Chains A and B, each alone.
Chain A
Amino acid sequence: NAGVTQTPKFQVLKTGQSMTLQCAQDMNHEYMSWYRQDPGMGLRLIHYSVGAGITDQGEVPNGYNVSRSTTEDFPLRLLSAAPSQTSVYFCASSSTGTYNEKLFFGSGTQLSVL
C-alpha cells in the first residue's frame, strides 16, 4: 500500500536551474495538490488538480508549473530555481476533492536552492 509517493526526498539546486518534483498516487484519487512548508507558516497551496487534464493555481503559484496527464501522476516543475523556493514540498491527494475529505500526504521533498 504505497499511497502517495514523492521523489526525490532531498535536492540541492543552483539558482537558475530547473527540475521536476515527482508525485504519484495509487489510490485512484481525482484530487491532487502541491504544498510548500516554510517555518512558522504552515502549508501553503501551490497548485492543484481535480482530475486528469485539469489544473489550477493555489495561493503561491509563481515560479512553478504543473500538468496532469494521468490520474496517478502530478509533477511539479521549477522553471528557474530561486533561493526563495528553498522549502519542503508536499504532495497530497484525496478521493474526489470535496472540502470535507481528508488529505493523504507524501513524505515530502526537501529542496535547497543556493
Chain B
Amino acid sequence: AQSVTQLDSHVSVSEGTPVLLRCNYSSSYSPSLFWYVQHPNKGLQLLLKYTSAATLVKGINGFEAEFKKSETSFHLTKPSAHMSDAAEYFCVVSERTGGFKTIFGAGTRLFVKA
C-alpha cells in the first residue's frame, strides 16, 4: 500500500542554519516523489521532484532532496535557512497503478527565527 509520513509536524530553525524536513514513504511500485511548498494563504508550488533519474534532486530556492530507496526516505534539506522559507512543506508520493494515485503527507510547518 502506498503511504507517506512526514516525521515532524513543526520544525524551527534560526536564520542561516541548515534545514532538514524528513519524509518516509512506502510504495509497491517505482514511485515519483515530490516536495511542494505552501506559503500562507497561497496555493502549493513545486519545489522539486524525483522520477528515477539522479537520486540527489536539486530544486528551487536552494532546496534539495535525496532519494534513498534502502531507507524509503526522501528528506528535504537546505544549507542555510532564510526568513522567506517559513512555510508549510508537503512530501508527496505518486505511483502508476492502472491510472495513478497521489498521496500527500500531512505537512511540516517550518518556522525561521531571526
Contact = CB atoms under 8 A, between A and B. Distances in A.
A103 interface: yes
A100 B27 CA distance: 14
Contact of B96 (A35, A99, A102): A99
A41 B102 contact: no
B104 A44 contact: yes
Given A106-B43, A107-B43, A100 B94 contact: yes
Main secondary structure of the interface of A (DSSP, over half): loop
B90 A43 contact: yes
Interface string B79-114: 000000000001000111001111111110000000
Contact of A108 (B43, B49, B96, B102): B43
Contact of B102 (A4, A50, A99, A106): A99
Nearest to B52: A100
Interface of A: 4, 35, 40-45, 50, 90, 92, 97-100, 102-103, 105-108
